[in-house]
Structure 1
Amino acid sequence: MLRIILIHLATVWLGFAEFKPHFREFLVEEFGRDVATKLERLDQGYLYRGSFGGKSEKYQPVFNRPIIFVHGVGSNAAFWLTHRQTFIDRGYSSAELYATTYGLLQNNITKTLDCKDVTAIRNFIMAVAKYTNSKVDILAYSMGVAIARKAILGGKCVDTMENLGPPFTANVETFLSVAGMTHGVENCSFLYPACNGLNGIPCVSHFFTDVNTAMFMKYEGTNLYAISNEFDTE
């Protein structure tokens, strides 16, 4: 009896592994184990806290355009679990819904717009588009909007000067910003790390100057939408 229970629990636990095995194997083969590990983010815990997405089996069809969810500051992939379930209830599958976690669970006054986070999201967009052989839709929230925009734009990171490469515009059909950090924050004390003038969140930082003065118009995708309200100041 104990053996049966343990087998059952192991099955349930593995059923909640972050990426589906087929997607994980694809990441390892195409991008290497290091990139796959950084995108899966098992350090965030299980039950889809660090990431989710992938086909349940090799020949599972992709009927809907894949959606990539990009979380905001102080959060992780688990932020999107209720949204994921909403899409599943409406006919989407795990092969069409993807998320990873960038950065650490930092608060608003310490989190900066780091090149390593931009690189993670850029790699993820590239991976999902290649894996599904499809353009993708991106749903980004708060700071995730800024990170995703730079990931698509490419070019040099302002904090490391690493060249990310050309824009990914052709891979993105729809870009939806929700309460997005698009222009930065007007009032931000430089006493806080997040308010630095290089890769911080002030609207005059080098990061926001870069993403908002790009020579490419509408580089985020074919269709651009934003959801905000009168209280959003970013």
Structure 2
Amino acid sequence: MATNSERGGRMNRRSLLQKMAGASAAGLLAAGASEPVAAGKGSLGGSDGNPCDWDRADDSHLPWDTGGQYGGWGGHEYHGTPEGQVYNPIIFVHGNGRDACDWQGHADYMIDQGYYGDELWAITFVGTTDDADTPTHEDMRNQLDDFVQNVMDYTGADQVDIVEHSLGVTGAYWWMDSYDRYDWVNTYIGLAGAFNGNCWCSCCCDQGDEGEPCQFIAAQCYYDGHPLYDMQQPDETPPGTNWYTVRGYYDGIYNPCGLYYSPYLDGADNNLYYTDHDGVRVYSKSDVFSWTYYNN
């Protein structure tokens, strides 16, 4: 699969997408989405992936008690590797309707490259609204903060690397910004995230029930005073963290309404994969290894 780095070779993403967001608000239905699509497992999450065989809040695959707040996996006992840590622990963050097991293939790949189990962790968010499979951004922010703190306490690491897909991209970014955790994160890898909105949330910023993803990542949410916009000001990629993003050339979450560059951040190493929304996650293993390993 071909991959291109588009770092430094394009017009300013913020200026371009502010124009696109305005156009999307007026003409999105004519641009490829015949009617508003509810934010559910089949939309922002991509394809079905490989879900875990246990409940979302099951913490038996983690070396600490989550109190039922969230689930996940990680550590040498779970992965069956020797104990220890050489590299920054990697935190994998799933998208809408998915869970930690989306990332099992990435963990297996990293172990094959020499990583220990204590360096590989993935969270399963638990939504606090009617649908446990769909966390709000507040859910993701709060649960991720506890998860990362526990990983750092368990491993003794000063920093982590964080890899996210789809809805988890803005969830992790908002966590870093809202709680000022930039100094916790050495490398940030955002795969197909909605920094300037998406085409599935085609109605408005208050679409659906309270707390649904579209109320945070609709294109119409990208305005001064809304968290989607405010968290990216004044610098989309604050210094001290290594920033990487990937967009998919055939990504149906962004392309139908012209939000091609929504997954990018100004100042990041922005990359293009010739695949769809979920393919960006699936085919990122070797890049995830390179971007984390060589920044340790």
Q: Does TM, scored on the shorter chain, surpass 0.5?
A: yes
1:188 corresponding residue in structure 2: 202
Task: Report the CA distance shift for 1:219/1:113 in structure 2 as closer, same or farther (over 3 A).
Answer: farther
CA contact (8 A) 2:137 2:213 kept: no
1:179 corresponding residue in structure 2: 192
CA contact (8 A) 1:112 1:201 kept: no
Write out per-residue CA displacement over residues 179-198 of structure 1, whole angstroms, 9 at most, x where no aligned residue.
Answer: 11222225622453489798
Matched, 1:116 2:132: no
CA contact (8 A) 2:126 2:135 kept: no
Task: Report the CA distance shift for 1:115/1:196 in structure 2 as closer, same or farther (over 3 A).
Answer: closer
Task: Report the CA distance shift for 1:176/1:208 in structure 2 as closer, same or farther (over 3 A).
Answer: same
Question: Greater shift after overlay, 224-233 or 74-83?
Answer: 224-233
State the shift of 1:102 in Å. Answer: 1.1
Pairing partner for 2:93 from 67, 70, 74: 70
CA contact (8 A) 1:198 1:207 kept: no
Task: Report the CA distance shift for 1:198/1:153 in structure 2 as closer, same or farther (over 3 A).
Answer: same
CA contact (8 A) 1:112 1:193 kept: no
Write out per-residue CA displacement over residues 134-169 of structure 1, whole angstroms, 9 at most, x where no aligned residue.
Answer: 211111000100000011112xxxxxxxxxx4x111
Matched, 1:208 2:233: no
1:150 corresponding residue in structure 2: 174
State the shift of 1:203 in Å. Answer: 2.7
State the shift of 1:99 in Å. Answer: 0.7
Matched, 1:222 2:222: no
State the shift of 1:18 in Å. Answer: 1.2
1:18 corresponding residue in structure 2: 61
Task: Report the CA distance shift for 1:95/1:222 in structure 2 as closer, same or farther (over 3 A).
Answer: same
CA contact (8 A) 1:146 1:180 kept: yes
- What count of residue pairs does the alignment treat as equivalent? 182
State the shift of 1:61 in Å. Answer: 1.9
Name the SS of the counterpart of 2:197 in structure 1.
coil
Higher relative contact order structure (alpha carbons within 8 Å, sequence separation ≥ 6): 2
Pairing partner for 1:38 from 65, 69, 92: 69
Task: For 2:203, give the aligned amino acid.
Answer: S
Aligned equivalents of 1:221 and 1:152: distance in 2?
A: 13
Name the SS of the counterpart of 2:126 in structure 1.
coil
Q: Which runs of 5+ in 1 are unaligned?
A: 1-15, 42-50, 155-164
Task: Report the CA distance shift for 1:201/1:122 in structure 2 as closer, same or farther (over 3 A).
Answer: same
CA contact (8 A) 2:166 2:192 kept: yes
Matched, 1:52 2:95: no
Aligned equivalents of 1:76 and 1:220: distance in 2?
A: 30
Task: Report the CA distance shift for 1:194/1:223 in structure 2 as closer, same or farther (over 3 A).
Answer: farther
| Matched-pair identity in % | 25
Task: Report the CA distance shift for 1:69/1:175 in structure 2 as closer, same or farther (over 3 A).
Answer: same
Task: Report the CA distance shift for 1:172/1:121 in structure 2 as closer, same or farther (over 3 A).
Answer: same
Aligned equivalents of 1:197 and 1:210: distance in 2?
A: 17
1:5 corresponding residue in structure 2: none
State the shift of 1:55 in Å. Answer: 4.0
Q: Which runs of 5+ in 2 are unaligned?
A: 1-58, 255-261, 263-296
Task: Report the CA distance shift for 1:221/1:78 in structure 2 as closer, same or farther (over 3 A).
Answer: farther
Task: Report the CA distance shift for 1:55/1:103 in structure 2 as closer, same or farther (over 3 A).
Answer: same
Matched, 1:169 2:193: no
Aligned equivalents of 1:200 and 1:62: distance in 2?
A: 36
RMSD of the alignment, in Å? 3.3
CA contact (8 A) 1:194 1:201 kept: no
1:128 corresponding residue in structure 2: 151
